[in-house]
Amino acid sequence: MKARSTGSTNCGFITLEILIAFTILILCIGAVIIVTFGNQSGAINAEIDQEALSKAQAVLEKARADAKFDFNLINPSTNLEVIQKDLFTKEVTSHNLSTTLTTLLTNPEAVDGGDTCSSVLTGDWKNPEMTSYEFGAELLSPSDSVNIFPIKDIDVNNHKLYAVIDNANSKTLPTFFKFDITDSTMPPIFIDSMDNNPGVESGFNAFTIVGHYAYLANAHGANYDTCVVSLSCSQLQVVNTDTMKVVGKLKIPSALGAGGQATGQSIFYKNGIVYLGLRKTTAGTEFNIIDVGGGGSGGSPTNPIYLGGINIGNWVNSIYIKDGYAYIASPNNTELEIVDVSNSFSPSITGQFDAPAGGGNNGNGKSLGLVGNVLYLGRTLLTGNEFYILDKTDPATELPVLAELDIRNSSNNNTSVNGIIIRDFLIFLLTNSDLQILKLDTSYSLSHYRASLPTPGGTGTSIDCEGNYIYFSSVPSNSKGFITITTAK
């Protein structure tokens, strides 16, 4: 007899098949959902990653553009980490979400004599360390505690410190000095010195180092008519810093001053051209342009060639060249003169700035600094404020005031800003009695970052910077100069 299947058995199998089918369907739908929404999530993540990458790249591209315009504009910010790798290179890292991009930016202009100061601040600048050395007794070899060394100007370049004096108490004393500062924790090590003209006591008022040459503004006002060949005749002298010998010189045509030829006062180098400022002339030009290799007239360090000049009407205390314009600080009623130097043979005055406090001759233009489109002007006080920050975006028309400050204190009511160093948001001012550190915020509000640091013994005369170190010179009333090194740990 054959067995018969019952209806309940058939229903059981059908129910099981339906459950299995539903399970498979649910698994398939789940897989589809996972794939679908996973793809959507992946697409969203990819879009976010791409946007982060794009933003990080944009930050780096802006940094590159800023570096070409002014290397000192490259400083740490919200999305940009900046590390000073050496005197000429910064490592910049852009952060955006999980995206990090790093590149190196270099400053080739500084290799041959540009600014080797790091704008990247490190250490505690609210509590800087300051060490001073008497120039003759502690830094020279052999030491000299008898003679005076009134340091007029210093220049720090590529681990060397150079200094000049303007008026020795002996015709045979050196006037130009070179020191090794490779180890900044130690006193500068004397390397060599020279006397630019043993026939006179005068030395130099200013100079700048470019590669293996020093371009110097002669402080001697010799008799113009009888001074033809002697080194004392040349307002510009060029010294080879390897041999410490004068290798080139130039006498500015017909530049007469009080009692003799006009004296060299200030100097600036840019792209093979030297810009030489003189003290006030009775005839001839105070601002002069000289080809030493970039003016297209066959000039060189050993054969400087005069190109052109213009009368300022007073001392040229400081010069800064940027984008075809010369910014000149002088004791004129307009403390700042702006000269178009795009044509070296025919410079022309295109603008001025007169400090607004009181109008007229209320202060002598003394020192300059410039970063990007922001110009910094220091004055010797008569009335009004001593320090101004100006917008030079359109120098041919106007220089709007962004900030100004009275930097006097109760013991210093006759202040002169003799030197300016700008490092990111800090401004270092060397005056005739102290080193002041100011803070500048993004809205151009100025304040003192810390109490001022007195200069040893007397007037601060010159300031420079290399890496994270500030160097300045000062001359007390006894004229024995000091070199001071300041840094932050």
Sorted by sequence, the CB contacts under 8 Å of residue 89 that are 6+ apart come out as: 104, 105, 106, 107
Classify 53 in phi/psi space as left (phi over 0), alpha (psi -120 to 50) or beta.
alpha
Q: What average pLDDT score do residues 196-225 get?
A: 84
Q: Tell me if 335 sits within 8 A of 329, measured CB to CB.
A: yes
Hey, what are 485's tokens? 């090194």
Query: How many percent of the chain have pLDDT more than 90?
Result: 62
What CA–CA distance (Å, rounded) separates 12 from 18? Answer: 10
What CA–CA distance (Å, rounded) separates 465 from 421? Answer: 7
Which residues are paired to 256 by β-bridges?
Answer: 261, 283
Q: What is the pLDDT of residue 476?
A: 84
| Burial class for 212, CB neighbours closer than 10 Å (0-12, 13-18, 19+) | middle
Which 8-state DSSP code applies to residue 398?
-
Which helix (H) or strand (E) segment is 122 a member of? none
Residue 167 pLDDT greater than 80, yes or no: no
Q: How many CB atoms lie within 10 A of CB 357?
A: 16
Residue 113 pLDDT greater than 50, yes or no: yes
Which of these ranges, 94-98, 153-157, 185-189, 372-376, has the smallest mean pLDDT?
Answer: 94-98
Start-to-end C-alpha separation, the chain: 106
Reference 326, options 350, 293, 356; nearest CA is 350
Cis bond leading into 76, ω under 30°? Answer: no
Reference 93, options 51, 59, 49; nearest CA is 59
The string of DSSP codes covering 160-204 is: EEEEEESB-SSTTS--EEEEE-SSTTSPPEEEEEE-S-TT-SB-E
What CA–CA distance (Å, rounded) separates 461 from 163? Answer: 11
Q: What average pLDDT score do residues 164-169 get?
A: 80
What CA–CA distance (Å, rounded) separates 118 from 175? Answer: 29
Please write the tens of the pLDDT for every residue from 285-344: 999 999 999 888 999 999 999 999 999 999 999 999 999 999 999 999 889 999 999 999
Classify 168 in phi/psi space as left (phi over 0), alpha (psi -120 to 50) or beta.
beta
Q: What is the pLDDT of residue 396?
A: 81
- Domains of the chain with CATH codes: 46-108 (no CATH), 129-487 (2.130.10.10)
Reference 256, options 218, 284, 290; nearest CA is 284
Average model confidence (pLDDT) across the chain? 86
Beta strands in 251-347 (DSSP E): 256-257, 260-261, 264-270, 273-278, 287-291, 305-310, 318-322, 325-329, 336-340
* pTM check: above 0.85: yes
Hey, what are 297's tokens? 């007239």
Q: What is the pLDDT of residue 397?
A: 79
Residue 71 pLDDT greater than 50, yes or no: yes
Q: Which residue has the higher pLDDT, 228 or 102?
A: 102
Helix (H, G, I), strand (E, B) or coil at 469: strand
